[in-house]
Chains A and B, each alone.
Chain A
Amino acid sequence: MTIANLESFIVEFFNAYGCNVQNQESGVIQVELTEELDKALMNRPFYWHYMKSLNQQGVPMSLTLITDPDKRDMKGEWIDIGSPRLQQIFNHVTSQEKYVLLFQEVEAEINTPLYPWLLANFKISYSGRQKKEELISLGIHLLNGKMIVNMMDELEKLTLKQQISDLCYTITPIITLSSGYKRLEKIILNYIDNQPKEWANEAMETLNEEIALLQHFYQDDLDDKILKKEVEELNNRYTPEINIEVISGGIVYLLDNFPKS
């Protein structure tokens, strides 16, 4: 878990969406929602529908969120890492804020070129008897094909804007997005190939054992309907599976010296 300070995460979240946030007392966050966030978080579609049909401006709600256990008794909504409200915030931000097109901020005095990078944050899920996930952030330079890992961490060191800085200009990619992506995917597949496979072998062994057990149980009637159902259930439960998904990413224009070593 990487959210070290839940309170500042929440404050930053609401600020980023342009809400009016009061956080004078530590552990207590008061937010006036925007219409967008009210619709996303407050679950009252009928209200907004009704207001729209009346051609009226709706009034977004306010929230008081409490993160300090000592202040739990105060008026407001308790929020912690597991609470539905935070999960809702997580889901909103992870589903809505997946794609970027960003430019490194540069205080340039002469014309300065920015080079295109493709960023892809991969999530790999391994599931067999159990499940495990892994995040890998990769980047590829779309001119020379140079690749780096932990791209996200590198980007955190920079200031990135949605507008390009004065006197900067972008270089047109040579490598297309889709072939750049293919190269990144190849790295991931290669990585997976070199990972230990015990988990998958174990899952297969268990699956075979369970099926044998089942067939023994139904030995008098191997066409039994329930037998087929049970075998299918076993397959669902144990067949080892690796799922690769890009959870976020985009294009980032950066100075020539990236990544600074």
Chain B
Amino acid sequence: MDFIKLQTDQTFIKELEKRVESDGPFTSHQLFSLAHQADQAKIIPSFTGLRSLDFLPHMSFLDHQLVTAKETIEKMNGRAILADEVGLGKTIEAGLILKEYMLRGLVKNALILVPASLVNQWVNELNQKFYIPAVSHRKNYNWDGNYILVSSLDTAKRSPHREAILANEYDFVLIDEAHKLKNHKTKNYQFVRQIKKKYCLLLTATPIQNDLMEIFNLIAILRPGHLGDMTTFKQKYTGNKGKVEADTYLKQLIERVMIRNTRENTDLKPSNRHINTIWVDFSKDEASVYDRLNNLKKVNDMFTKMTLLREMCSSREACYLSLNKLLESRGEDEDIQSIIQDIGQLPAHSKADKAVELIQSIGDEKVIIFTEYRATQLYLQWYLQQHGISSVPFQGGFKRGKKDWMIQLFRDRAQVLIATEAGAEGINLQFCHHLINYDLPWNPMKIEQRIGRIHRFGQENDVKIYNIAIKNTIEEHILTILYEKIQLFENVIGELDAILSELNINNFDKEIESIYAESDSLGEAKIKLENLASIVHQMANENKAAGEYYDNR
């Protein structure tokens, strides 16, 4: 008993005496018993188990996520490497663990360090899914106080933030993409090592990429000494390219601080993605307009030209609007005017015909169409209506209420949702499993987000994705050179994100834009695109291999 720190409470009785003396204030019986009910509701009745589940009735967790959270807390005492394969919900596991500690009053402040591109996503997920009041760190915020702060590691490690963070004590520290810490000589590593923390989670899909020292270093952040001291470990394992499983003892030790779920060992049977690319030929007239746009000498800005060509592949209307704008800014221009006239003469767009045909062949099932252009959206809505197909529009500018309303209409009434924006978090469209990419954005992340709307946990059917692309146009480049090569459509949700952030490509659009803008010919652009695709592809393979390196048993 004497080794237990015991703290009693004198404030209550002093305050009560004070109130008796000054005649109050006192509360009514009704409010008093409401307060008591609330106190009872908040109580943590047992050392074990996940109390947080009671407070998250809107979430449904997968079995492996629950087991991981429980093990991390009960067996690993809150310090662990979460190394699930991509797409199994490491974020969910981490959120659940944090929530549990907060409910138990064991965590009051937390520091969550993630790649810059993921800061907002983390904040949103913690807020919406876990009701955790996380905030992203802003310039004038303090690093102390009882906040759940999300920041990028790059910001945090720079002065003066670095000093402020190291002066503070955190109940909970989380590092996402923790494989960046595998080298103990780097600034990142030294910094994280010095942060004062109680509980600590390291998240990575690739705990070991090349060398066993990497895992040694990660574990030294959580539990120094767990794998022995560095000199001995080095002697034993350096140059040992053999796999972890060759040493059962080491593997067991690692498993005491690391949890890795793989698709194979979870009961998760993800629905599959089926990708169909549907090629469409321009009609003779459309092709001639496209060629004229392509040969427009007066538009020598490659980017503007690309935009016009992409628009032409989407709808006459989208292209028409841009040409008109061009005309306004440049004044009289015979070439442009005559193209505009030609566009006016064109009958229905070949792609729209194909889309109608496709939707009819799908039958009664729900379909989402994504397009980049508002004009195309309007046109399609009209055109589908002409063919007796009901649809509702969806775009980023809608207010939250209208978005919800449109989705409800789509679910209950309309067959098709025509959307210009995919990013909106929290919209669940799992009830639909057909998706048409009516045109292709240049940013592959957008494609991921689009697909992610329907291909997510809870989708019970295989997801069918249709890319409608026009032959012999810029669409063919983007699709065949870039997207097919990086196996974009087969990728698991989230994987691409990790790769791009590793490559420091924050803005894929810009990357592609600049490729076109800086290329003198289409041929040159093609080669550059291919190079870009190769890098991403290679990276994906390396990550995959690194995962297998540990998993092979």
Contact = CB atoms under 8 A, between A and B. Distances in A.
B246 interface: no
Contacts of A230: 224
Contacts of A237: 77-78, 198-199
The secondary-structure label for the interface of chain A is mixed
Interface stretch (A22-30, A46-54, A199-207): A199-207
Nearest to A212: B225
Interface in B46-83: 46-48, 54-58, 73-74, 77-78
Nearest to A122: B9
B39 A251 contact: no
Contact of A233 (B42, B198, B408): B198
B3 A240 contact: yes
B249 interface: no
Interface string B7-31: 1110111011101100011111111
A101 to B, nearest CB: 4
B127 to A, nearest CB: 9
Given A131-B106, A229-B194, A248-B36, A73 B30 contact: no
Contacts of A192: 6
The secondary-structure label for the interface of chain B is mixed
A177 B7 CA distance: 20
Interface residues of A, number: 89
Nearest to B130: A82
Contact of B31 (A1, A3, A97, A214): A97
A123 B199 CA distance: 25
B404 interface: yes
Given A97-B31, A178-B13, A217 B225 contact: yes
| From B4, B17, B42, B197, residue with most partner A Cβ within 10 Å | B4
Contacts of B54: 1, 81-82
Nearest to B190: A226
Contacts of B4: 197, 200, 240-242
B46 A132 contact: yes
B39 A240 contact: no
Contacts of A236: 198
A2 B37 contact: yes
B201 to A, nearest CB: 14
A110 interface: no
Interface in A203-248: 204, 206, 210, 213-220, 226, 229-230, 232-233, 236-248
5 contacts: A90-B41, A93-B35, A100-B29, A237-B198, A250-B32
Given A9-B34, A73-B404, A248-B36, 14 more contacts: A13-B34, A16-B34, A80-B57, A82-B58, A90-B38, A94-B35, A94-B38, A94-B42, A193-B1, A226-B194, A230-B224, A241-B5, A244-B7, A246-B9
